[in-house]
Amino acid sequence: MNYIRFIQDNIPLILEYTKAHFSLVLWAVLISLVLWVPVGVLITRSEKWANRVLGIANTIFCIPSLSLFAVMVTIPFLGLGRRSALVALVLYAMMPLVRNVYQGVKVVDKSVIEAARGMGMNYWRILWEIQLPLATPVIFAGFRITVVMTTGIAAIATYIGERNLGRLISEGLTRFNIEMIVDGALLIAFIAIALDTMLGALEKKIVPRGLRVHRGH
């Protein structure tokens, strides 16, 4: 089996690419969380802003990933490499994260909030102790989508100079090395499915029984 031999022969290289891949994904997801969760919470206070921000997020999400990477490269401050990749990935994460945080916080039962207010809780305590905990399942669903999506799109960042698992595909295509292409593609597919399954199991664990939600489309 050539495919297996290719992996055996190139374990150090593949490990290096995997490491680079996950460090990019990790940073992108961390920055996205820090940036977009507060935005999602903030826009629950104004319908007008919610519509605007979600509209922008939807529009960005439509842009083909290769296009967004390509546009980032032309911005002088970003250029080729990790900075462009990070900005593009964080922009993509806006849609699932902001939308899910917004929806999660928004759908918290009004009477629960009223009860909290009646007990004398102020806005921040209601947010921290009532709204965010109750929104956790929806927010986690958004987090899961973000992680899986970012892992997939990160592979495309290889074309703007990231040395990650996408490199196996891009180099395989230029060298016409079928083993390299197939192994790279299968590896990326496998990682995406594994991550999704793991996060799905985690989602079931952390969500209280009465609060199970369906994953949005």
Binding site for another protein (CB under 8 A): 58-59, 61-68, 70-71, 73-74, 148, 151-153, 155-156, 159-160, 166, 169-170, 172-173, 178, 181-182, 184-186, 188-189, 192-193, 195-197, 217
Q: Whose Cβ is closer to another protein: residue 21's or residue 127's?
A: 21
The SS3 of residue 87 is helix
Give the nearest distance from C-beta 69 to another protein in angstroms. 8
Give the nearest distance from C-beta 168 to another protein in angstroms. 9
- DSSP state letters, 144-201: HHHHHHHHHHHHHGGGGT--STHHHHHHHHHHT-HHHHHHHHHHHHHHHHHHHHHHHH
d(CA 44, CA 40): 7
Give the nearest distance from C-beta 190 to another protein in angstroms. 9
The total of other beta-carbon atoms located within 10 Å of residue 208's CB is 10
Give the nearest distance from C-beta 112 to another protein in angstroms. 22
Give the nearest distance from C-beta 3 to another protein in angstroms. 10
Among residues 33, 32, 17, 139, the alpha carbon closest in space to that of 86 is found at: 32
Give the nearest distance from C-beta 130 to another protein in angstroms. 24
Q: Whose Cβ is closer to another protein: residue 121's or residue 181's?
A: 181
Q: Whose Cβ is closer to another protein: residue 209's or residue 217's?
A: 217
Task: Write the CB contacts of 42 (distance below 8 Å, at least 6 apart in sequence).
Answer: 49
The total of other beta-carbon atoms located within 10 Å of residue 134's CB is 18
Instruction: Quote the tokens at residue 136.
Output: 């956790």
Q: Whose Cβ is closer to another protein: residue 88's or residue 127's?
A: 88
Q: Whose Cβ is closer to another protein: residue 125's or residue 212's?
A: 212
d(CA 190, CA 206): 24
Distance of CA 108 to the CA centre of its chain: 24
Q: Whose Cβ is closer to another protein: residue 130's or residue 146's?
A: 146
